[in-house]
Structure 1
Amino acid sequence: MKLVEDRRPTLASWPKRIYQWSELPQLFRPALEEWRGEGLPPGNVTYIPQVRQGVGEEEHAVSWWRGQVLLQTLWRGGVTRLLIPQGAAAIRYEVQLLKCTLTIYLKNGDQASFSYNKVKEDQLRPVLSLLLGRPSGLSFPTEHPEPERLGWLLEESYGMYHTALLCYRLGERLEDCLYLRGKTGGLLWLIQRTPDPEYFLGVMDRGLAAISHDSYSTCVLYAPWESMDGAELVPERRGYSLQVQAAGGKMTIPVQGGQIEKVRNFLDHLSRENDQISQFH
Structure 2
Amino acid sequence: MWFSKKQNLVDSRPTVASWPQVIDNIKELPYAYREEVEKWLQKGMPLQNVTYVPSLHRLWKRQGEYAVAWFGDQVMLLRETSSTHADKAVISCREVVGVEYYQKLLNCCATVIYRQEGQIKRETFQFNKPKEPAFMPLLNIFLGNAPDYKINVFLEENPVCLDLIDQSYRMYNFSKMALRLDENVDTYHWESERFLYPQKVVKEEKIREYLIQLQGRGMTLIDAYDYGVGVVYLPWSSVEDLGSGPKGFWVKAGDKTYQIPISDGNQDAIYHFVQEAKQIWNQKKH
Answer whether TM exceeds 0.5 for this pair: yes
CA distance in 2, matches of 1:16, 1:250: 35
2:217 to 206, 209, 213: 206
Under a length normalisation based on structure 2, what TM-score does the superposition of the two structures give? 0.86
Q: Does 1:244 align with 2:251?
A: yes
TM-score scaled by length of structure 1: 0.87
Unmatched 5+ residue regions in structure 2?
1-7
Instruction: Kindly indicate whether residue 181 of structure 2 is the aligned counterpart of residue 170 of structure 1.
Output: yes
- State the alpha-carbon separation in 1 of the partners of residues 88 and 158 from structure 2: 41
Considering fraction of residues, name the structure with more strand: 2
Spell out structure 1 runs of 4+ moving beyond 6 A: none
RMSD between aligned alpha carbons? 2.5
- Alignment of 1:71 with 2:77, yes or no, is yes
- The CA distance in 2 between the partners of 1:189 and 1:181, in whole Å, is 25
CA distance in 1, matches of 2:201, 2:219: 35
| Structure 2 residue 147 is the aligned partner of structure 1 residue 132 | no
Question: What amino acid is the match of 2:105?
Answer: L
Aligned with 1:5 (options 6, 10, 27): 10
Instruction: Please state how far the C-alpha of 1:141 moved relative to its aligned partner.
Output: 3.0
Q: Cα deviations across residues 145-196 of structure 1 (Å, max 9, x unaligned)?
A: 453x433211110000010000000012001111111232363599353431
Which letter maps to 1:263? I
- For 1:161 and 1:63, how far apart are their aligned partners in 2? 33
* Aligned mate of 1:59, from 46, 65, 86: 65
For residues 60 and 269 of structure 1, the distance between their equivalents in structure 2, rounded to whole angstroms, comes to 42
Q: Percent identity?
A: 27
Q: Deviations over 1:241-280 (max 9, x none)?
A: 22223223443212221121111111011112331589xx
Number of aligned positions between the proteins: 271
Comparing both chains, which one has the higher relative contact order based on Cα–Cα distances under 8 Å and sequence gaps of 6 or more? 1
Does the alignment pair 1:142 with 2:154?
yes
Other-structure match for 1:101: 109
List gaps (5 residues or longer) in structure 1: none
> SS of 2:108's equivalent?
strand
Find the aligned partners of 1:274 and 1:56 in 2 and give their Cα distance. 41
Kindly indicate whether the alpha-carbon contact (under 8 Å) linking 1:57 and 1:75 is maintained by their aligned counterparts in 2. Answer: no
Q: Is the 8 A contact 1:90 1:249 kept in 2?
A: no
Supply the AA of the counterpart residue of 2:282: D
Taking structure 1 as reference, are residues 192 and 16 closer, same or farther at Cα in structure 2, changes over 3 Å only? farther
